[in-house]
């Protein structure tokens, strides 16, 4: 093939990639910031919209100590330029997600060719989990940028065998750590690949083993040095709680649930994704025998490290979501292999593109219900506090008091500057209401239920119109979760047993009016 023809073919793929990225942008911008935030998002927003960068970092350590600042800094800078709003604060997630699609194309095209890379990027663009996390102002979308960047730089470093490229790769690993601590699994999986290359010399590379070993050692050292300032600050201030992060985690999904989520949900065509994985592995093995082994190793090692650090018997999908694009390369390769075989069997018919398109449409149809549900409800974890804040703004009179359980009080405070009393049942040591007030200039106060009783309630709220906002019906529901336990103890300690009104559509928020130990 001539140079001009080769250039034209590459240009065709980049044009198609541009269309994919534009489509992905539309799917991610539609209803961006439409739904209320949930507690992790609220903590990130309140930290990232403080007056100073130092305050933002201190706030993060105080209330979100498990999250390094790599996610926070671009959001902080953007709100300084364009003003504080939840839309502006969320927008970087979309940008990182779209940039990630481009970087994954560069990575996958080096590994599996342009066609397979383009198909993988299409699957990334339309996958409902990729879309939902790209609309979340947390660090998950950032990972879609820094992880493929680290693999690209590793490939360049190994290929060029120049220490400068290993230095750049070390910087990219540090960026991974600053985005999420769980990317330690990415560094470990890359280390396993390097060990395999050292022992076998495979990968179609002429390897200077000493240069490979010393170069990757340099990468790890550079990444550690650049990440050390945050670790020192974190462990100096919050050593005990930082260790707690490593031994506790949610357990909301079984491994089978994770598989279902990765293969486009529980829709009728999920089996197609699973069936595509096998021919995908065979295609990759046929082209580059080392590649499918490396992919499976990256998935397995990174998932294991994620499980190990969070110490959860079962995963929550957000702790392995950064592996989804890597996984999607397998069904994408399967689509490419099937379409190529059909082209060979029926050379007179142009079936290749049609079959590829049909399989992609099947997968999109499989997840369309879940995607529509996401657009309609969002995560719906914690109720519609955006609307609750707007309603409270219209009901509030000077001198009123507002009481909200701790995590939901933060969500409420994203949308309202009204003074709020935080209910704390266990008063965990990392929570400092004074930190909140100091860095956000909010008149927030804490109700520590371990030190609270009816007399204190009467002294604090006597003569005031008091509002209690929560997502539980205190008169009928069994309150076994954190908020329910706090509310049960609150009513027990104060002697106030309110009745309330359920409002706000599918995301119920209960408004209770209280007085000096007496129901209004």
Q: What share of the chain is helix, strand, coil (3-state, %, to 5)?
A: 70, 5, 25
* pLDDT at 502 exceeding the cut of 50: no
Whose structure tokens read 């329910």? 484
Give residue-wise pLDDT tens across range 454-484: 677 777 787 788 888 887 666 554 554 556 6
In three-state secondary structure terms, 498 is coil
What is the per-residue pLDDT for 107? 98
Q: Identify which has the larger pLDDT, 453 or 285.
A: 285
In three-state secondary structure terms, 28 is helix
Q: How far apart are CA 44 and CA 14, in angstroms?
A: 35
Across 219-228, 373-382, 428-437, the highest mean pLDDT is recorded for 219-228
Bridge partners of 509, per DSSP, are 503
Give residue-wise pLDDT tens across range 323-349: 999 999 999 999 999 998 888 888 777
Give residue-wise pLDDT tens across range 391-409: 899 889 888 889 888 778 8
Across 174-188, 307-321, 354-368, 472-486, the highest mean pLDDT is recorded for 174-188
* pLDDT at 292 exceeding the cut of 70: yes
CA–chain centroid gap for 214, Å, is: 33
> What percentage of the chain has pLDDT greater than the value 90?
41
Among 103-107, 403-407, 433-437, the least confident range: 433-437
> What percentage of the chain has pLDDT greater than the value 70?
78
DSSP letters for 366-423 = HHHHHHHHHHHHTT-SS--HHHHHHHHHHH--TT-EEEEEHHHHHHHHHH--S--EEE
What is the per-residue pLDDT for 274? 80
What is the per-residue pLDDT for 242? 43
Q: How far apart are CA 274 and CA 239, in angstroms?
A: 43
Q: How far apart are CA 403 and CA 514, in angstroms?
A: 10
* pLDDT at 490 exceeding the cut of 80: no
Residues sharing a CB contact under 8 Å with residue 392, sequence separation 6 or more, in sequence order: 402, 412, 416, 418, 467, 469, 511
CA–chain centroid gap for 371, Å, is: 17
Q: Where are the domains of the chain?
A: 3-30+65-377, 385-514
Mean pLDDT (whole number) for 261-273: 71
Asked if 516 and 458 count as a contact pair (C-beta separation under 8 A), the reply is yes
Across 38-42, 194-198, 492-496, 507-511, the highest mean pLDDT is recorded for 194-198
What is the per-residue pLDDT for 52? 83
Pairing of β 466-470 and β 421-424:
unpaired
pTM of the complete model: 0.90
Give me the chain's average pLDDT, please. 82
């Amino acid at each position: 093939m001539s140079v001009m023809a080769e250039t034209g073919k590459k240009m065709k793929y980049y044009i198609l990639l541009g269309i994919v990225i534009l489509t992905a942008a539309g799917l991610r911008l539609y209803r961006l910031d439409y739904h209320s935030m949930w507690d992790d998002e609220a903590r990130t927003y309140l930290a990232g919209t403080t007056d100073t960068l130092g305050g933002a970092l201190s706030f993060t350590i105080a209330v979100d100590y498990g999250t390094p600042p790599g996610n926070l800094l671009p959001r902080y800078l953007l709100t300084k330029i364009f003003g504080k709003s939840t839309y502006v604060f969320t927008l970087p997630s979309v940008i990182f997600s779209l940039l990630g699609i481009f970087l994954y194309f560069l990575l996958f095209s080096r590994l599996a060719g342009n066609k397979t890379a383009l198909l993988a990027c299409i699957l990334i663009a339309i996958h409902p989990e990729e879309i939902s996390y790209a609309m979340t102002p947390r660090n998950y979308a950032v990972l879609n940028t820094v992880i493929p960047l680290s693999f690209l730089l590793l490939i360049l470093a190994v290929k060029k065998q120049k220490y400068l490229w290993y230095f750049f790769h070390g910087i990219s690993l540090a960026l991974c750590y600053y985005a999420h601590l769980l990317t330690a699994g990415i560094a470990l999986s890359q280390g396993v690949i390097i060990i395999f290359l050292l022992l076998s010399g495979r990968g179609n590379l002429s390897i200077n083993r000493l240069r490979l070993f010393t170069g990757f050692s340099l990468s790890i050292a550079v990444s550690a040095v650049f990440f050390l300032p945050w670790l020192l600050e974190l462990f100096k201030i919050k050593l005990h709680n930082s260790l707690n992060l490593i031994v506790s985690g949610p357990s909301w999904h079984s491994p089978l649930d994770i598989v279902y989520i990765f293969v486009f949900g529980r829709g009728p065509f999920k089996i197609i994704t699973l069936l595509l994985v096998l021919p995908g592995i065979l295609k990759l093995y046929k082209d580059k025998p080392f590649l499918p082994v490396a992919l499976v190793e990256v998935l397995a090692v990174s998932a294991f490290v994620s499980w190990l650090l969070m110490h959860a018997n079962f995963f929550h999908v957000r702790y392995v979501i950064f592996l989804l694009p890597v996984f999607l390369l397998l069904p994408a390769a399967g689509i490419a292999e099937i379409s190529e075989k059909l082209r060979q069997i029926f050379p007179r018919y142009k079936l290749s593109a049609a079959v590829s398109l049909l399989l992609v449409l099947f997968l999109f149809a499989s997840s369309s219900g879940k995607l529509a549900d996401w657009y309609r409800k969002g995560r719906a974890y914690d109720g519609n506090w955006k609307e609750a804040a707007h309603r409270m703004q219209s009901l509030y009179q000077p001198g009123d008091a507002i009481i909200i359980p701790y995590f939901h009080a933060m969500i409420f405070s994203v949308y309202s500057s009204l003074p709020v009393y935080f209910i704390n049942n266990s008063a965990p040591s990392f929570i400092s209401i004074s930190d909140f007030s100091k860095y956000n200039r909010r008149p927030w106060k804490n109700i520590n239920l371990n030190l609270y009783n009816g007399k204190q309630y009467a002294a604090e709220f006597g003569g005031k119109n008091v509002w209690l906002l929560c997502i539980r019906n205190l008169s009928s529901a069994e309150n076994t979760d954190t908020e329910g336990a706090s509310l049960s103890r609150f009513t027990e300690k104060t002697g106030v047993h309110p009745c309330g009104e359920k409002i706000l559509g599918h995301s119920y928020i209960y408004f209770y009016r209280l007085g000096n130990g007496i129901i209004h």
